[in-house]
């Protein structure tokens, strides 16, 4: 049906009327509204600029710091997909930036130093004598106690007490020699059991070293097969393994805050750390309780007795030291710093000698001439220059703490023209210093002769050598370690020749399993009794 024209016109009129009603008139905005919009635009622009500057500040390395790797906030610079070890990364950074540079690892800003003189300068400054508040040091125990993890007055008093006790109890003196001789004799007998047979260096080496510390701490000596000794050695071995994982917790301390606690504990093995710390504490507390029950205030036997006398007697100890838990931590620190390190130094020395028959022959000749089969004493040290050279060369080559031990800068300082801000961590790269061609010719060669002068006398080479660190945090047990190394090494080498297994070689490079400490690889070696 055709629509009449009149109807089409009506429809058009209605549609036009609706359009007029719905059309919004384009009126000019009031002046005040325009002003508000302009102000808002300027505020937004200013906020964008401030955000950019803030991001630039967060992302950029602060002015004054040494050059180096900076990376992203909270993550730092992580060299993904690289097969290099941590030390090789550090050497690569040294080639690029020089002897001092920055590497932000996670949230921690760390300045690494490869120069011996800069290391001596910085580690002797009181502003750098603190330790970071890391689980790597405190094991999550608060407040920090003992020697290794404390700062300020408590650290100073604990260190002074421990050093005085070690000296009084025979460190570096003939007073302790009888105990070391006893352990050296036991070690030789244990090595005779595997004479001529390829086998790993026996755990008797660890027992010998641990027993010396026990002698000074608690007047205790364990048999090699004593279940208590085996239990304690296992605790210490596992303890050393899990602390490395805690190191990564400290670098990425924000991760545990966003991860479920069970996952965080598993990832960083914090539950293992807590369990081992608890077990060691119980172990030490039992020994302390036994000492308290038999304590003679007038005749102290060892370090524990002296601490208890000062604790329960006339209150000679400073207030912050007046608790038994602090004593537990002092004992733990002495074992942690002095047992595995000395045992591994001996193992490294055995490996170096097995690979260097020329050095071994000269060492045998000196020991035969001077000692004639007897055990060494402190008085023999001056007559054993080559033996001393072997020990120092082993300390240099092994560099047990290859990247040093972390120091915290507690206030802004100047170093080598750079500004090192408060809160920065300082690490001296010991392995690099010990192989620095400015101080060492053929640094990768095991050459005990470098420690002898033209007359064949031992000459302590101080430049470029710091196996026990330097400054206020220098190892308190250096004298004890050197005494043990000399007597144990002389006893073993007077009785044995060391060789690789037939058709094999000895790998004297450190086991890469640990990023922060050099430990020996477990491998077969042959001790053959000398005729």
DSSP for 259-288, please give it. S-HHHHHHHHTHHHHHHHHHHHHHHHHHHH
DSSP 202-216: PTHHHHHHHHHHHHH
CB atoms within 10 A of CB 316: 12
Does 457 carry a binding-site annotation?
A: no
Cα–Cα dist 381/416, whole Å: 39
Amino acid 25: pLDDT: 53
- pLDDT-derived band at 83 (thresholds 50, 70, 90) equals low
Choose between 431 and 459: higher pLDDT: 431
Query: Residue 340 sits in a domain of what CATH number?
Result: 1.10.630.10
Amino acid 2: pLDDT: 44
CB atoms within 10 A of CB 285: 15
Cα–Cα dist 51/59, whole Å: 12
Give the model confidence (pLDDT) of 504-530 as tens digits.
999 999 998 887 889 999 999 999 999
Give the model confidence (pLDDT) of 340-379 as tens digits.
999 999 999 999 999 999 999 999 999 999 999 999 999 9
Amino acid 142: pLDDT: 87
- pLDDT-derived band at 171 (thresholds 50, 70, 90) equals confident
Best CA proximity match to 458, nearest among 349, 382, 370, 393: 382
Strand partners, 105: 76, 108
State mean pLDDT over 203-213. 95
Amino acid 408: pLDDT: 97
Amino acid 360: pLDDT: 98
Q: What is the pTM of this model?
A: 0.87
Consecutive H or E run containing 92:
helix 86-97
Cα–Cα dist 16/384, whole Å: 117
- pLDDT-derived band at 44 (thresholds 50, 70, 90) equals confident
Amino acid 270: pLDDT: 83
State mean pLDDT over 434-454. 96
State the burial class of residue 58 (Cβ atoms within 10 Å of its Cβ: 0-12, 13-18, 19+).
exposed
Task: Give 61's contacts (C-beta < 8 A, 6+ positions apart).
Answer: 67, 68, 70, 102, 104
Highest average pLDDT, of 276-285, 315-324, 387-396, comes from 387-396
> How many helices and strands in the chain, by DSSP H and E?
19, 9
State mean pLDDT over 287-312. 93
Distance from chain centroid for Cα 147: 14
Amino acid 308: pLDDT: 94
Distance from chain centroid for Cα 138: 12
Q: Is there a domain that residue 128 lies in? A: no
Give the model confidence (pLDDT) of 387-396 as tens digits.
999 999 999 9
Length of the chain measured in residues:
531
Amino acid 7: pLDDT: 45
State mean pLDDT over 113-123. 97
Q: Is there a domain that residue 315 lies in? A: yes
Amino acid 446: pLDDT: 98
Give the model confidence (pLDDT) of 227-264 as tens digits.
989 888 888 888 777 777 778 889 998 888 888 888 88
Least confident of 43-52, 133-142, 315-324, 401-410: 43-52
User: What does pLDDT average to over the chain?
Assistant: 89
State the burial class of residue 161 (Cβ atoms within 10 Å of its Cβ: 0-12, 13-18, 19+).
buried
Give the model confidence (pLDDT) of 1-27 as tens digits.
444 444 455 455 545 555 554 454 555
Task: Give 59's contacts (C-beta < 8 A, 6+ positions apart).
Answer: 70, 72, 73
Cα–Cα dist 343/335, whole Å: 12
Q: Which two tokens stand for residue 60?
A: 């950029």
State the burial class of residue 445 (Cβ atoms within 10 Å of its Cβ: 0-12, 13-18, 19+).
exposed
- Please state whether beta strands 100-105 and 68-69 pair in parallel, antiparallel, or not at all (unpaired): parallel
Helix, strand or coil, per DSSP, at residue 523: coil
Q: Is there a domain that residue 188 lies in? A: yes
Amino acid 3: pLDDT: 45
> Is the per-residue pLDDT at 486 higher than 90?
yes
Please confirm whether the linkage preceding 143 is cis (ω < 30° from 0).
yes
Give the model confidence (pLDDT) of 48-80 as tens digits.
777 666 655 666 788 899 999 999 888 898 876
| CA torsion, ordered 372, 376, 381, 384, to nearest 10 deg | 30
Q: What percent of the chain has pLDDT over 70?
A: 89
Phi, psi of 305 (to 5 degrees): -60, -45
State mean pLDDT over 477-484. 94
Best CA proximity match to 303, nearest among 377, 231, 226, 212: 212
Cα–Cα dist 388/394, whole Å: 10
Residue-range definition of the domain harbouring residue 239: 135-529
Amino acid 19: pLDDT: 52
Question: CB–CB of 469/341 below 8 Å?
Answer: no
Q: Is there a domain that residue 25 lies in? A: no
Q: Is there a domain that residue 282 lies in? A: yes
Amino acid 26: pLDDT: 54
Task: Give 430's contacts (C-beta < 8 A, 6+ positions apart).
Answer: 399, 401, 402, 403, 404, 466, 467, 469
> Is the per-residue pLDDT at 453 higher than 50?
yes
State mean pLDDT over 444-465. 92
CB atoms within 10 A of CB 222: 16
**Alpha-carbon distance values, 115 to 129, 211, 427, 441, 512 (Å):** 18, 37, 11, 16, 24
Question: CB–CB of 221/211 below 8 Å?
Answer: yes
Amino acid 460: pLDDT: 81
Amino acid 93: pLDDT: 95
Helices 177-192 and 204-218: crossing angle in degrees, nearest 10, is 160
- Please state whether beta strands 108-113 and 425-428 pair in parallel, antiparallel, or not at all (unpaired): parallel
Consecutive H or E run containing 123:
helix 116-123
- pLDDT-derived band at 385 (thresholds 50, 70, 90) equals very high
Q: Which two tokens stand for residue 433?
A: 């210093």
Residue with tokens 């082993």: 394
Q: Which two tokens stand for residue 264?
A: 């965080």
Domains in the chain: how many in total? 1
Q: Is there a domain that residue 163 lies in? A: yes
Cα–Cα dist 362/370, whole Å: 12
Cα–Cα dist 338/193, whole Å: 27
Q: Is there a domain that residue 74 lies in? A: no
Q: Is there a domain that residue 106 lies in? A: no
Amino acid 236: pLDDT: 84
Q: Which two tokens stand for residue 360?
A: 């071994």
């Amino acid at each position: 049906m055709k629509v009449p024209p009149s109807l089409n016109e009506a429809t058009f009129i209605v549609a036009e009327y609706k359009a007029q009603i719905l059309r919004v008139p384009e009126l000019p905005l009031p002046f005040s509204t325009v002003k508000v919009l302009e102000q808002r635009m300027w505020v937004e622009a200013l906020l964008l600029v401030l955000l950019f500057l803030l991001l630039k500040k967060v992302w950029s390395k602060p002015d004054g710091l040494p050059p180096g790797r900076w990376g992203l906030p909270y993550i730092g610079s992580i060299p993904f997909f690289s097969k290099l070890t941590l030390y090789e990364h550090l050497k690569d950074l040294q080639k690029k930036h020089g002897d001092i540079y920055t590497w932000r690892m996670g949230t921690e800003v760390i300045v690494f130093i490869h120069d011996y003189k800069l290391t001596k300068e910085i580690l002797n400054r009181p502003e750098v004598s603190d330790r970071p508040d890391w689980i790597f040091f405190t094991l999550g125990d608060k407040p920090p106690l003992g020697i290794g993890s404390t700062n300020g007055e408590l650290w100073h008093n604990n260190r002074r007490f421990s050093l005085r006790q070690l000296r009084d109890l025979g460190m570096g003196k003939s007073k302790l020699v009888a105990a070391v001789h006893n352990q050296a004799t036991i070690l030789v007998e244990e090595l005779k059991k595997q004479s001529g047979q390829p086998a790993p260096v026996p755990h008797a080496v660890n027992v010998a070293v641990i027993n010396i510390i026990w002698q000074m701490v608690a007047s205790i000596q364990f048999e090699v097969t004593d279940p208590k000794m085996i239990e304690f050695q296992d605790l210490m071995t596992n303890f050393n393994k899990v602390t490395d994982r805690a190191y990564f917790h400290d670098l990425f301390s924000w991760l545990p805050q966003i991860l479920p606690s069970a996952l965080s504990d598993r990832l960083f093995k914090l539950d293992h750390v807590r369990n081992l710390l608890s077990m060691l504490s119980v172990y030490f507390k039992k020994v302390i309780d036994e000492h308290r029950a038999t304590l003679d205030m007038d005749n102290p036997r060892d370090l524990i007795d002296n601490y208890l006398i000062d604790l329960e007697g006339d209150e000679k100890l400073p207030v912050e030291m007046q608790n038994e838990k602090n004593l537990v931590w002092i004992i733990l620190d002495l074992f942690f710093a002095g047992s595995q390190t000395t045992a591994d130094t001996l193992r490294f020395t055995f490996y170096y000698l097995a690979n260097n028959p020329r050095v071994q022959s000269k060492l045998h000749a000196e020991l035969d001439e001077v000692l004639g089969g007897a055990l060494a004493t402190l008085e023999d040290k001056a007559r054993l220059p080559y033996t001393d050279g072997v020990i120092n060369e082993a300390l240099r080559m092994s560099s047990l703490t290859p990247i040093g031990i972390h120091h915290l800068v507690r206030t802004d300082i100047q170093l080598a023209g750079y500004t090192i801000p408060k809160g920065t961590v300082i690490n001296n790269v010991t392995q690099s210093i010990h192989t620095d061609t400015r101080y060492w010719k053929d640094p990768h060669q095991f050459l005990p002769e470098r420690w002898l002068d033209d007359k064949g006398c031992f000459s302590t080479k101080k430049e470029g050598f710091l196996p026990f660190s330097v400054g206020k945090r220098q190892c308190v047990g250096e004298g004890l370690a050197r005494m043990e190394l000399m007597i144990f090494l002389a006893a073993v080498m007077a009785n044995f020749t060391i060789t690789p297994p037939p058709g094999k070689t000895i790998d004297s490079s450190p086991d890469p399993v640990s990023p922060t400490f050099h430990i020996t690889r477990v491998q077969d070696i042959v001790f053959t009794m000398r005729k």
